[in-house]
Amino acid sequence: MNNWLKTTVLMAAILALFMLVGGLIGGKNGMLLALLFGGGMNLFAYWNSDKMVLRMYNAHEVDEQTAPELYGMVRELAGRAGLPMPRVYVIEEDQPNAFATGRNPEHAAVAATTGIMRMLSYRELRGVMAHELAHVQNRDILISTISATMAGAISALANFAMFFGGRDESGRPANPLAGILVAILAPLAASLIQMAISRAREFGADAGGARISGDPMSLASALAKIEAYASGIPMYAAEAHPETAQMMIINPLTGGGLDNLFRTHPATADRVARLHAMASGQIEY
């Protein structure tokens, strides 16, 4: 399934969830309003979701003067990948992590935390940035960014249904239990949609990052190190906006339970094993 088709399926599925919750809140009229609202949100997310996510993380843009090593590294890797130079951002968070965003390669951005810049060697950080540029090259960034913003909107609408109740087709108050169930199940459904798309995407970006950098072992080493540190260092912006967790190179959420049950990333050990196989020539990249 190509990425344009994936994006269309994602938007349609999220729109259906909007209509379901809208129907609970206001019957047919609520469903129609939710359809209009969801369609407007899809259009808004297409053009603005990258700015929203960067704002959520209080990311600040850097250049060759303010972050010469990171900026120069991204420029070198973008050249190797045949990509336009993306905007480069830094996030003031101790947890080592990174992500890419934007609607296409011409409007892309990559972001790295101050924690990842401190904890990784130059070679390891280069492997991470190559992975993020592979997401840009594969056009994964539109899918991940839209799914993050739309999943957040679904959660907000579902909470509205729970707290303010809904109406049936005759205008009578709906069963309050139904509102509670929707408030629980709608965000889970949005998470499942994200999961269905994002796990395979990470393996693809690992392979693409290995090709761009020419150094699979640098990314393997980086992933192992990030996994070791990230689980013990909270990332406050991600905890406040868990719908964005699937954008990161490693799951940034520190909680257990449902966070692990509905994790959007493949097991890091599996990713590292594949990269080792690439480096030894057992798998092509």
Q: Which residues form the catalytic set? A: 132
Whole-number Å distance between alpha carbons of 275 and 6? 26
* Contact between residue 201 and residue 140 where contact means Cβ atoms under 8 Å apart: yes
- HSE at residue 49, side-chain half, CA atoms within 13 A, is 28
Give Cα 194 distance to the centre of its chain.
Answer: 8
**Tokens describing residue 193:** 């949609």
**Tokens describing residue 11:** 């938007």
Q: Between the CA atoms of 100, 101, 104 and 105, what dihedral angle is there, to the nearest 10 degrees? A: -30
Residues found in the chain:
285
| Mode of pairing for the β-strands spanning 98-102 and 87-91 | unpaired
Q: What is the DSSP string of 204-254?
A: HHHHHHHHHHT-HHHHHHHHHHHHHHHTTS--HHHHH-GGGGGGSSS----
Is 108 strand, coil or helix?
strand
Whole-number Å distance between alpha carbons of 162 and 196? 26
**Tokens describing residue 104:** 């296409």
- Residue 267 amino acid letter: A
